[in-house]
Amino acid sequence: MSSDARIDRAAQPRGPMTKNGSIATFVHDPELFELVSRCLNELPGVIKTGAPGIEPGDIEDAIAYLTRDPSPSVVLVDLTGVAEPLVALDRLADVCHSDTRVIALGDINDIHFYHNLIIAGVTEYFVKPVSEEQLRTALRSPPDAAAKSTSAAPVAGQRPIVVVGARGGVGATMVAVSLAWYSAEKDHQRTVLVDLDLSAGTVGMALDVEAGRGLADALATPERIDGLLVASATVKCSSHLFLLSSELALENRRTLADNAVPLLVAGLQQNFQRIVFDVPRSEPGLLAQGFEQAAFIVIVTDFSLAGMRDTLRLLKLAKKLAPGAKCLVVGNRFGVAKKGGVTVEACEKTLATKLAAVIREDPIVVPMALGIGKSVPESAPDSDAAAALYSLAVAVDCVAGTPEQGWFERVFSIAKTFVMAKGN
């Protein structure tokens, strides 16, 4: 198709125009078409011209239209199916004003591709399917919002809550998922849960979310990490809960830069109010860097002698690397070993610390939660496990108390957990 033909096709505006600027939209996906229409209809002061909706279009239509009229302040384009999207975007940039905001949508979920888009001048990029909330926020944002997002102060600037298991199978992931859920769903904080086990992490399974490569790619090139890049790599689990993870081949060998996790935390702080790390104890580099960044370190153990030994080792490491962090120990799977198991009293005496929570072994609640891809407090809110996890969430500031459970009820639930544990 010739360029003249494309210009003729663009003779009519492709989207609603605002009085103080224009929004030109070029989409051809039917579902996305409907979503964009709905979002634009909700924008204040929108005046539609041309057809009573959004006409289908692609990036070639966008280039043709902007060649004729480069005035739109916002251009939204769908890159799905474009053979060379970066080349097409360069051509689009040639016919745009320098202050035009370009919002791109596509199906490529790759952190390097995203970074190249930002370098090319794209303001925001969303991997389809995009949510209505994301799209509406992007269209309403002022022209310089994206530029400010990489340099603005963190939303809350909180350092991470780091959860680590003293041994395999003690339930550290279950605890990390529960804390993140409490923060997001009960305290309504924008929360990101990061699974730092890049090859064999199970957080995605626990939340029924497919892992990608975003986290591994970010840690491999930490100098490229910024707020926009990190945000694009996360997967939305609910309105306030997001997941950042990867699933690399088991034979993949990785070299971790000394500043990888600190730069990751800095990028996350630009977009999230709370950060929860699920850290594998088998990765010394990630464990050390995670501890150094922590505000809270939660060590999950069972009631075995080996668990006590390894908990002591982790407490010693935490004291060395993160003297300012608050360390809490959670005893999980209490009662699973009737013979040879360590009692709560013996555990606390050995560790020289009170347990922040004692979670009884429950062969029904925890497997059920994993099976349906939900956290324990969401799938079984009235269970003893949920009561113990709530007490831990209070201790690490994931919840400050909710209308559903006042001060007396919280104290009662914590006391109930300890009484039941010590009675066995």
Rg (CA), the chain: 25
Side-chain-side CA neighbours of residue 365 (13 Å): 22
pLDDT at 306 over 90: yes
pLDDT at 82 over 70: yes
**Cα 198–Cα 201–Cα 207 angle in degrees, nearest 5:** 125
What is the pLDDT, as a whole number, of residue 279? Answer: 96
Using an 8 Å Cβ cutoff, are 238 and 373 in contact?
A: no
Most confident segment among 38-52, 128-142, 180-194: 180-194
pLDDT at 32 over 70: yes
pLDDT at 60 over 80: yes
pLDDT above 70 covers a percentage of the chain that reads 78
pLDDT above 90 covers a percentage of the chain that reads 33
Phi–psi pair at 127, nearest 5 degrees: -80, 130
pLDDT band at residue 338 under the 50/70/90 scheme:
low
What is the pLDDT, as a whole number, of residue 297? Answer: 97
What is the pLDDT, as a whole number, of residue 236? Answer: 86
Distance of alpha carbon 272 from alpha carbon 290, whole angstroms? 17
- Over residues 32-51, the mean pLDDT reads 64
Tokens of 123: 């303001």
Short-list 141, 99, 150, CA closest to 121: 99
Short-list 341, 297, 332, 288, CA closest to 315: 297
Short-list 251, 313, 303, 253, CA closest to 281: 313
Maximal CA-CA distance, the chain: 84
pLDDT at 323 over 60: yes
Alpha carbon distances (Å) from 29 to 32, 34, 80: 5, 9, 9
pLDDT: is 412 or 281 the higher one?
A: 281
Short-list 3, 176, 9, CA closest to 91: 3
What is the pLDDT, as a whole number, of residue 409? Answer: 45
pLDDT band at residue 151 under the 50/70/90 scheme:
very low
Distance of alpha carbon 123 from alpha carbon 158, whole angstroms? 26
pLDDT band at residue 73 under the 50/70/90 scheme:
confident
pLDDT: is 69 or 98 the higher one?
A: 69
What is the pLDDT, as a whole number, of residue 302? Answer: 94
Distance of alpha carbon 256 from alpha carbon 221, whole angstroms? 9
Short-list 57, 65, 56, 114, CA closest to 85: 114
Short-list 283, 303, 307, 289, CA closest to 166: 307
pLDDT: is 311 or 51 the higher one?
A: 311
Amino acid, res. 281: R
- Over residues 37-51, the mean pLDDT reads 58
pLDDT at 1 over 50: no
pTM over 0.85: no
pLDDT at 55 over 70: no
pLDDT: is 157 or 112 the higher one?
A: 112
- Over residues 79-83, the mean pLDDT reads 88
- Over residues 6-28, the mean pLDDT reads 50
- Over residues 390-414, the mean pLDDT reads 63
Task: Give all domains of the chain, ordered by start, each with its CATH number.
Answer: 3-149 (3.40.50.2300), 161-422 (3.40.50.300)
Give, as one character, the DSSP assignment of residue 423: T
DSSP string, 357-420: EEEE--TTHHHHHHHHT--HHHH-TTSHHHHHHHHHHHHTTS---BTTB-HHHHHHHHHHHHHH
What is the pLDDT, as a whole number, of residue 144? Answer: 42
Q: What is the pLDDT of residues 203-247, one digit of tens each?
A: 988 898 877 667 887 888 787 777 667 777 788 888 899 999 888
> Over the chain, what is the mean pLDDT?
79
What is the pLDDT, as a whole number, of residue 358? Answer: 95
pLDDT at 192 over 80: yes
Using an 8 Å Cβ cutoff, are 133 and 126 in contact?
A: no
Tokens of 225: 């990490």
- Over residues 287-303, the mean pLDDT reads 95
What is the pLDDT, as a whole number, of residue 340? Answer: 62
pLDDT band at residue 325 under the 50/70/90 scheme:
very high
**Reduced to 3 states, what is the DSSP secondary structure of residue 15?**
coil
